Structure 1
C-alpha cells in the first residue's frame, strides 16, 4: 500500500465502522433516542418521567456528538427565516391538531397515537411543584426538545431517509435536498409513526420537506425545528395545555 492510500485509510475503529457503513452516523443517534424512549415502557407512573426524559436526551446527545464529524455539511442557519417559519409551524401544530381533535370522526383511541385521556396527561406542576425540581425538569424537557431532538430527527429523516429512498445502495451520493415525489410522500407519512399527533405530524413534515428542498440546509431545518419545539413547549407550560407533551 502506498503512502497516499495509507493516509486515506480509516484511522480509528469508529472510522472503519463508518467507512464500512456510511449510514451509521445518520441512524445511530435516532435509534439511540428510540431505544431509550422504549425503556419507559418498563416503568409505570409519572414519577419516572423526569429521569426517563433525561436518559434519552443525554444518551441521544452523546451519540450525536460521537458521530458529529461524520455528518454531511450542514449548510446555513437562515436565522430570521427560521424564526418566522417556527412561529408558523407552532401555530400549525396547535390549531390544526385542535381542529382535528374536535371532529366527531377523529379516532379517540391511541392506536394511531391520538390524545391520551386528561387524567393521563403529565402535569409537571402537580408532579414537581414549582421549585428547583420543576426548573431542572423544564431545562431537560424543553432543552432536549429544542436542541437534541432536532439534531437527531433532521439527520435521520432529511439527511438519510429522503436520500436512501432515492438510492438505497449509495445514498451518500444523493445531494441533500434532492426531490422525488416518492421520497417526499413516503418520508412525510412515515414520520407519523414517530409523532403522537399523526395528522399534524404528516402536514408539518410535508411543509418542512418543501422548505428543505428550497434551502437544502440541514442546519436551517435544525434551527427551525428547535425553535418550533421551544415555542410549542413554552406554550404548553404557559397555558398548561398538557395534551402536547409527548
Structure 2
C-alpha cells in the first residue's frame, strides 16, 4: 500500500510511539537501563516527529482552533470520558494485560517525580496530538476514502467511525473504555469538523487521569 506524504506524516509518529512502547515492554530492568525512562525517549522522539511534520497538519493550523463553545464541549467530553474510563475496568472489560506497566516508585516506595512528569507530559501533551492525527484525521477518513485528505470530517459515515473505533479499541487494554473514548472523540471531530476538539478532549482525559492516578496510587491505569 502506497501512502501519501500526508498519510505518512500522520502514521510515522504513531508507529514510532508503538515501537518504543513495545521496546519498553520487552526491556528487562537492570542497574544500567530503567525501561520506564524509555517513555521519556518516546516523548522526545514523537514530539520531534510531530514538530518535523507540523506544517503538514493543516487541520491544526491556528485558524482551525475551536470556538469558545466548542472548547467547553471538548473539556466536558474529556472529563466524562475520564470518569467512565476509571469505572469501566471490570475483568471482562479488559483485553489481556498491559505490555508495559508504569510504576514511578523507587525501591523505598517513594514517588519518582521526574518519571511522573515525563509520563504526564507525554500522556497529556504528546499522545493526544499524535493519536488524534492517526486515528481520527487519518484512519477514520481513510476508511471513508483512500484519498482521505479530501474527506470533510462532517461527511464521515458510520462505517468509518465504527471500524476506526474498533481498531482503536484493539490498541488499548480497557476495551470498553476505549470504545467510549474513541466514539466520543470521533463525535467531536465529525460534529465540529475541527480536529482540535478531539485533541483537547483527549488531552483533558489523559491529563486528569494522570493527576488522579498519582493522587490515588491506581497505577494500573497508567
Give the alignment's TM-score, normalised by structure 1. Answer: 0.78
Q: For residue 52 of structure 1, what is the aligned residue in structure 2? A: 38
| Map of 1:6 onto structure 2 | none
Helix, strand or coil for the counterpart of 1:213? helix
Which residue does the alignment assign to 2:23?
Answer: 39
From 70, 77, 84, the counterpart of 2:76: 84
Residues 236/196 of structure 1: CA separation in 2 closer, same or farther (3 Å cut):
same
Q: Which deviates further from its counterpart, 21-30 or 77-86?
A: 77-86
Change (3 A) 1:129 1:208: same
2:133 alignment counterpart? 155
Deviation at 1:24, TM superposition (A): 1.3
1:200-232 residue CA offsets vs partner (Å, 9 max, x unmatched): 111221222122211111111111111110101
2: CA distance, partners of 1:22 / 1:212? 18
| Cα-Cα RMSD | 2.4
* CA-CA distance at 1:82 after TM superposition: 2.4
Deviations 1:118-157 (A, max 9, x none): xx964323458547xx221111100110010001000001
Q: Which moved more, 1:83-92 or 1:145-154?
A: 83-92
Larger radius of gyration: 1
Q: Quick check: 1:172 aligned with 2:172? A: no
Secondary structure of the 1:113 match is coil
1:223, 1:96 → 2: CA distance? 22
Please give the residue correspondences for 1:185-224 in structure 2 after superposition, counting only pairs within 5 Å.
Answer: 185-224=162-201
Structure 2 equivalent of residue 145 of structure 1: 123
Choose 55-64 or 171-180, whichever is displaced more.
Answer: 171-180
How far apart are the structure 1 equivalents of 2:56 and 2:134? 13
Tell me by how many angstroms 1:42 deviates.
Answer: 3.6
Q: 1:113 aligns with which of 86, 91, 96?
A: 96
The CA distance in 2 between the partners of 1:194 and 1:122, in whole Å, is 17
Moved over 6 A (4+): none
Greater shift in the superposed pair: 54-63 or 32-41: 32-41
How far 1:160 sits from its partner (Å)?
A: 0.3
Matched, 1:95 2:87: yes
Q: Distance in 2 between matches of 1:91 and 1:221?
A: 17
Aligned partners of 1:114 and 1:196 also within 8 Å: yes
Unaligned runs of 5+ in 1: 1-17
Cα distance in structure 2, aligned partners of 1:29 and 1:176: 22
| Aligned length in residues | 212
* 1:136 paired residue number: 114
Find the aligned partners of 1:161 and 1:25 in 2 and give their Cα distance: 12
